[in-house]
Structures are given as structure tokens and as C-alpha cells.
Amino acid sequence: MKKRILVVEDNDLNRKLFCDVLQAGGFSVEPVADGNLAIEAARAFTPNLVVMDIQLQDVSGLDLIAILKHDADLADVPVLAVTAYAGKGDEQRIRDSGAEGYLAKPVSIGPFMAAVKGLVEDAPTAVAS
């Protein structure tokens, strides 16, 4: 069964790139452009991994990670944070919010897929509802 990845990214080009690369890698992908719909989408899609942009237009990716980690059904789903914020202390702040992985933009395909595969292999298997 294909591993499922929820991609929360409000930039159209980045979202398409992430989804295309993940699909080419054999993953089942659900794109979400609006961060306000991310939690609902995660509950419906039951992902094995969430790729989360931190700087979304209407809501903070950090807040979404915290909500995911406090949801009984989603708390065990690993999060790969992807952000243009790569300043001193940002990675630690993002990891402290609950993200298991962190990549700074611009993202290169090799490190992105390595991070995804590492997190998905450690993830619990999603249970289809």
C-alpha cells in the first residue's frame, strides 16, 4: 500500500513541485493550498507524513503543527517543516513546535526525498477509515 503524504503549501509552484516529486517517488499525495483546511484534510486523508510550509498566508504552520500534535488521531503523524525562515534559532523553534524534520527553502530534491523517506519509514502505518 502506498504511503500517504499531505502537502500543506500555499505557493502554487512549490506545492506542485512537492506533489510531482512525491508522486514520482511512489507516494499517494493530497495537496492543500489553504492552511485553514489542513487539519480537516489530515483527518480525511489519514497521512503517513505531513509536509508543512511554516509561512502560510492565513495561519501559522507552527500553530498547525501544534494542533496536529494535540489531536489524538494525528499526534503520531510526523511533520516535515519546510520554510524560507532559516535564521538562527528557527530550526529549534520549529522542532520545539513538534516537527520531526526541517528543511530550509529553496529545497533541493535529493535532501527533500531523503528527509521524506526517513520520516515515512519511521511513521506508523495509516489506518484507512
Domain containing residue 108: CATH number:
3.40.50.2300
Q: Which domain holds residue 54?
A: 4-122
How many whole angstroms separate alpha carbon 39 and alpha carbon 22?
A: 20
Counted domains in the chain: 1
pTM of the model: 0.93
Residue 80 domain flag: yes
Residue 37 domain flag: yes
Residue 129 domain flag: no
Q: Which residue, 73, 77, 91, is CA-closest to 5?
A: 77
Contact 57, 14 (CB under 8 A): no
Q: What is the pLDDT of residue 125?
A: 56
How would residue 40 be classed by pLDDT, with cut points 50, 70 and 90? very high
Residue 44 domain flag: yes
Residue 58 domain flag: yes
